[in-house]
Chain A
Amino acid sequence: MKRRAAKQLRYGTNTLLMIVSAVIILAVINLFSARHFHRFDLTHNKQYTLSKSSKRVVAGLEDLLTIKAYFSKTLPPYMTNFRRQVGDLLEEYQTYAKGNLRVEFIDPKGDPQLARTLQFQGIPQVQLNILEHDKYQVINAYLAMSIEYEDRREVIPAVLPRGVENLEYNITSAIVKVISAQVRPIGLLTNNPRLDLKKDYRHLTEALERQYSVRYIDLTQRNAIPRNLAALIIISPQDFTDRQLYDLDQFVMNGGKLICLIDTVEFEEDALNASVKVPNITKLLKHYGINVHSDLVADLRSHSMASFNTGFVSFTLPYPFFVKVRKEGFSSDSQIVNRLESLVLPWSSSVEANEAAAQGLEVARLVSTTPYALSQQAPFNLNPQQRLRPKKEDVEQLPLAVFVNGKFTSYFKDKPIPEEPTQPETTPPSPRPDEPQTITESSETQILVVGNARFVADRHLFQFPSNLIFMQNAVDWMVLGEDLIGIRAREVTDRPLRELSDAQKATVRYLDTLGASVLVILFGLGCIVLKRRKRRYYETLMVD
C-alpha cells in the first residue's frame, strides 16, 4: 500500500514536471514566433497590409505613440463594419511598432469633461443618419482620432467611411507630423508689388504656420533661398531677373520642392479688366515640362456663384469663369486631391504638361474641368451677364493643375550663370571664385503648378474655404511626401450582391440551408442500404 502511494507520488510529480516543461517549451516557441513572424494578406487588394512607408514610419518610433480613437459605441449598423476596418488597420500599425504604439478606443459618451476637452482639441461630433422605427433619425457621434507623441498631438477630426481608402495616408501623415520635433520651414515668395502676402494671403499663411514655420523669401537678397526649405510656394509672380530665375532653378536642382501659383492674366477684379501678362518663370516651368497657357477657363457645366458690384448694387449669379471642380475632376490616383470634395478656381488659366520636355518625368493632371469647358483667349470678355454659346468642337476637358515628379534638368544647363545685377557695368561676365557650379540635374523632386493664385487669396477663401484644403494637402504631400509615397488609395471594399427578387432570395436561402443536409441524409441512407445488402449477402452465404 505504502509502495503504491510512493509510486503514485512519483508519477504525479513526474507528470507535473512534464506539464510545466511542456508549457515552458510552448511559451518559448510562441515568444520566438512573435518575434519572427510573417503575414500573408490573402485579400484581393491587400487590404490589411500596410504600405512599406507606414511600416517604416512606425518601426522607427523611439517613444510611445498613442492613437486614441474616439468612436461612439452606438453607431448605425452600416458603420459597424467600418469601425472594424479602422480597428483592423490600427492593429496592423500596432503590429509593426514593436510595442511603441498603443491604440485606445474611447467612447466619449457620458463623459462631459472629455467631450469639452475634445471640442477644445478640435474634435467635433459628426451627425449620422440612422433608420429607426421606420424613420430617419440623426444621431451625434464621435468618429475621430487623436495621435499623441510626447507633448504633441495631431488630430484627425472626422474618420468617415467615405474616406476609408485614405485612412492609412491620413494616419501615417499625422504620425510623421507628430513625431518630427522640428518645425519645417516653408517659403512664400512673390515679387508682385500689388500683393502683400501678409495681408492678402493671411489665411493661407496662418494655416501653414500651424504646421510649418513660414519664411517670406525676398529674391533681391543674395542667397535668399535657404537650403533647408521644405517647399517653396511662389504666388502670382511677375518677371524675375535672370539671376533670380537662376536661383529658383538651382533651388529645384538642389531637390527643392516648388509650388507655383501662376497668373498669366493680369486683372483688376472689380473692373473685370483683364490683359495677358505672362511672367517669365513660365519659361522655366516650360523647360520643366509644364505649360501655363495665357487663357481663362470657363466651365459651362460646373461653376460657382460670383458676386459683382456695379457701384450702386451688387448682384450674385452663376459665373462660368468661377470653375468649380467636381469630384470627377480630381485625379483619383493622387493623394493630394483624391479626398477633395470641391475646389473653386476663379478666373483660372489652363495648365498643361509639355509632352516633349516632360519626357522621363511622371506627370499627373491633378485637377480638371468637366468636359464642357471653354478656353477663352485675349481679348477677354468676362461679363457675367453674357451667354456663352460655344461651338461643340470648342469645348473640352481642360487641366487646371499639373503635378510633375522626377529628375529635372537645369534650365541653365550649358548656359552661363547670370550675373547678379548689383554691379552690372563693372563686373566682367565670369563666375566669381566662390560661385558654386551650376547643378545640371536635380535629384527626384516635385513641382506643382496651378494656373491661378487668387483661389487661396483671402477674398476668395472667404467664399470658398475648402480651397485651403487643397493647398494644405499639396504642401503636406510635398513636404512629407517621401514618407508617404507608396501609400496607395485603397479600393472601395463594398461588395454588393446582385439585385435579386424575393423569390430568388428565398430559393437561395432554403437551398443553402438545407441542400448540404439533404446530401448528408442521402449519404447516410446509402450507407444503411449498403450495410443491409451486405448483411443479407452474408445471411444467404450462411443459409447455403
Chain B
Amino acid sequence: MANIYQIFKKEFRSYVNSPAAYIFIIVFLVLTSWIFFRGFFLINQAVLRDFFSLTPWLFLFFIPAVSMRLWAEEKKLGTLEILMTLPIKDHEAVLGKFFAAFALLTVTIALTFPLPLTLVTISDPNIGVDMGPIVGGYLGMLLLGAAYLAIGLFASSLTENQIVAFIVGVTLSFVLFIIGEPIVLFSIPSALVPVFDFLGLGTHFENISRGVIDTRDIVYYLSVIAFFLFLNIRSVERRKWA
C-alpha cells in the first residue's frame, strides 16, 4: 500500500510539474465547453446529456495522451530498470501509475463544475434541474475514463515510443468503443449483436449518463479496468524473461 502511494505521489507530482498536463486539461475543458455550448441555447433544456455524450469521443484522444508517458518514458530513459530493482512489486507500480493518472482525470472532470453550476443558475426556477442524470453522468465519465486509462496504460507498457503508445492506446480504445455502436451492430450477424453490444464501452456509459446506475454497468467497467491492468502487470513482468 505504502509503495503504491509512493509511486502515485511521484507520478502525480510529475503531472503537476509538467506543462503538458496543463495543456491537456485546458484543451479538454475549452473543447468540451465550446462544443457543448454550440447547441445548448438552441435546445434550451437544462440538461447535460449532450455534454456527456461528447465524452466517449473526447476521452478517446485525451486519455491515451495522458497515459502514453507512464511506461514508455521510463523505458526510453532507462529508469524502468531502476524502478524494478527497488523493492516494489510489479502490481504496485502498475496501480500507483494508474491511480496517479486517474487522479489527474478526476481533477479534469471536476474542473467542468461550471457547467452544472450554470445549469442550476439559469434553469427555470419553477422546474429546476434534474440532478440524477448529472450525478450519473459524472460517475459514468469517471468509470469510462478509468477504463480508457487502463487501456492506455497497457498500451504504454508495450513500447518505449510515446507516439506509438498513444496510437496503440487510441486504437484499442476505439475498437472497444465502436463495437458496441449502432454502426457496427448493424453490419454483424444478429447472433453476435448482444455480445458486441455488451462489450462496447459506450453503451454502458449511455446507460449511466441517463441517470440509471446499474450494477451490471459498474461490474462491466471494473472488469475492463481489471483486465487491462492485469495485462499491464504481465507485460511489465515480461522483461524478466525477455
A-chain residues with CB within 8 Å of residue B17 when the two chains form the complex: 527, 531
- Docked-complex contact A521 and B22, CB < 8 angstroms: yes
Neighbouring A residues of B231 by C-beta, 8 Å = 19
Interface string of B109-125 (1 = CB under 8 A from A): 00111110010001111
Contact among A45, A497, A520 for B124, CB-based, below 8 A? A497
How close is A179's CB to chain B, nearest CB, in angstroms? 23
Q: Is the CB of A497 within 8 A of B113?
A: no
Separation of A509 and B20 alpha carbons in the complex (Å): 26
Q: Which residues of A contact B227 (CB under 8 A)?
A: 22-23, 26
Q: Encode contact with B along A511-544: 1 for CB under 8 Å, 0 otherwise.
A: 1111111011100100100010000000000000
Interface of B is mostly: helix
Known: A33-B215, A512-B115. A505 touches B41 (CB 8 A): yes
In the complex, whether A443 has a CB less than 8 A from a CB of chain B is: no
- CB-CB nearest in chain B for A23: B227
In this assembly, does A41 line the interface, its C-beta being within 8 Å of a C-beta of chain B? yes
Binds A, one of B29-37, B61-69, B158-166: B29-37
A69 to B15 Cα, complex, angstroms: 50
Do B213 and A496 touch (CB < 8 A)?
no
Q: Report, as a range, how many residues of chain A touch the other chain.
A: 35 or more
B216, A34: Cβ atoms closer than 8 Å: yes
Q: What B residues does A39 contact at CB under 8 A? A: 212-215
Q: Which residue of B lies closest to A16 (CB)?
A: B234
In angstroms, how far is the closest chain A Cβ from the Cβ of B219?
4
Query: Does B3 interact with chain A (Cβ within 8 Å)?
Result: no
**Judging by beta carbons under 8 Å apart, are A44 and B33 in contact?**
no
**Are A41 and B212 also in contact (CB < 8 A) when A22-B230, A29-B219 are?**
yes
Which chain A residues lie closer than 8 Å to B124 at the CB level?
Answer: 495-498
Contact flag A496-B230 (CB < 8 Å), given A30-B223, A517-B26, A521-B22: no
B125 to A: closest C-beta gap in Å = 7
Contact status A43-B223, CB under 8 Å: no
Question: Which residues in window 118-162 of B have CB below 8 A to A?
Answer: 118, 122-125, 127-133, 135-136
The one of A38, A497, A513 that contacts B215, using a Cβ cutoff of 8 Å:
A38
The residue from A8, A497, A515, A521 contacting B114, defined by CB atoms under 8 A apart: A515
Chain B contacts of A81 at CB under 8 A?
45
Determine if A37 is an interface residue (Cβ-Cβ < 8 Å): yes
Q: In the complex, which residue of chain B has the Cβ closest to the Cβ of A502? A: B41
Q: Which of A509, A512, A524 has the most CB of B within 10 A?
A: A512
* CB pair A26 B223 closer than 8 Å: yes
A26:B226 contact, CB within 8 angstroms: yes
Q: Which among A7, A18, A509 has the highest number of chain B CB atoms within 10 Å? A: A509
Cβ-neighbour of A497 out of B26, B46, B112 (below 8 A): B46
Chain A residues with Cβ below 8 Å from B122 are: 497-498, 500, 504, 508
Decide if B242 is an interface residue (CB 8 Å cutoff): yes
Question: Which residue of A36, A88, A512 contacts B118 across the interface (Cβ within 8 Å)?
Answer: A512
Q: How far is the CA of A520 from the CA of B111 in the complex (A)?
A: 9
Please indicate the chain B residues that have their CB under 8 angstroms from the CB of A42 in the complex: 131-133, 135-136, 211-213
User: In the bound complex, do residue B114 and residue A43 qualify as a contact, i.e. CB atoms below 8 Å apart?
Assistant: no
Query: A40 CA to B211 CA in the complex, in Å?
Result: 8
Taking the complex as formed, is B25 at the interface, i.e. its CB lies under 8 A from any CB of chain A?
yes
Over the window 18-59 of chain B, the binary record of Cβ atoms lying under 8 Å from chain A Cβ atoms (1 yes, 0 no) is: 010010011001100110010011001111000000000000
CA distance A45 to B128 in the complex (A): 12
Q: How far is the CB of B100 from chain A (nearest CB, A)?
A: 16
Task: Tell me whether B174 is interfacial, beta carbon within 8 Å.
Answer: no
Question: In the complex, what distance in Å separates the CA atom of A521 from the CA atom of B22?
Answer: 7
A118 CA to B210 CA, complexed, in Å? 32
- CA A47 – CA B49 in complex, angstroms? 15
In this assembly, does B16 line the interface, its C-beta being within 8 Å of a C-beta of chain A?
yes
Asked whether A495 lies within 8 Å of B22 as measured between CB atoms, the reply is no
* In contact, B241 and A7 (Cβ under 8 angstroms): yes
Q: Which of B193-213 contact A (CB under 8 A)?
A: 198, 210-213
Given contact pairs A19-B231, A496-B44, A516 touches B113 in the complex (Cβ within 8 A): yes
With A26-B223, A498-B124, A527-B16 in contact, is A508–B118 under 8 Å at CB? yes
Contacts of B112 in A (CB 8 A): 516
Instruction: Give A331 to B216 CA distance when docked, in angstroms.
Output: 40
Q: Report A-chain residues with C-beta under 8 Å of the C-beta of B210.
A: 43, 48, 88
**A43 touches which one: B16, B133, B226, B230 (CB < 8 A)?**
B133
Instruction: Specify which chain A residues have a CB less than 8 angstroms from the CB of B25 in the assembled complex.
Output: 517, 520
Scan residues 452-496 of chain A and give those whose CB is less than 8 A from a CB of chain B: 494-496
Whether the Cβ atoms of B26 and A521 lie closer than 8 Å is yes
Residue numbers in B under 8 Å from A40 (CB-CB):
212-214
Q: Counting CB contacts under 8 A, is B220 at the interface?
A: yes
In the complex formed, the residue of A with least CB distance to B234 is A15
Contact, CB under 8 Å: A524 / B212 = no
Q: How far is the CA of A517 from the CA of B33 in the complex (A)?
A: 11
Q: How many Å lie between the Cα of A498 and that of B136 in the bound state?
A: 24
In the complex, what residues of B have CB within 8 A of residue A511's CB?
114, 118
Question: Restricting to A5-24, which residues have a CB under 8 Å from any CB of B?
Answer: 7-8, 11, 15, 18-19, 22-23
- CB closest chain-B residue, reference A525: B22
Closest CB in chain B relative to A218 CB, distance in Å: 54
B33 to A, closest residue via Cβ: A513
Kindly list chain B residues whose C-beta atoms are within 8 Å of the C-beta of A8: 241-242
Across-interface contacts of A36 in B (CB, < 8 A): 215
Of B124, B127, B238, chain A has the most CB atoms within 10 Å of the CB of B127
Q: In whole angstroms, how far apart are the Cα atoms of A410 and B14 in the complex?
A: 83
Most buried by B among A498, A504, A516, A521: A516
Alpha-carbon gap, A30 to B219, bound state (A)? 7
- CA A508 – CA B44 in complex, angstroms? 13
Cβ–Cβ < 8 Å partners of B213 in chain A: 39-40, 42
A42 to chain B, nearest CB (A): 3
Is there contact, CB below 8 Å, between A520 and B215?
A: no
Further pairs besides A30-B216, A496-B45: 10, Cβ < 8 Å: A8-B241, A33-B219, A39-B213, A41-B211, A43-B132, A44-B132, A513-B37, A517-B25, A520-B22, A521-B22
List 4 tightest A-B contacts by C-beta distance, closest first: A42-B132, A33-B219, A513-B33, A43-B132
A-B contact pairs, 14 of them (CB 8 A): A11-B241, A22-B227, A30-B219, A39-B212, A39-B215, A41-B132, A42-B131, A43-B210, A496-B127, A500-B41, A511-B114, A513-B29, A516-B112, A520-B111
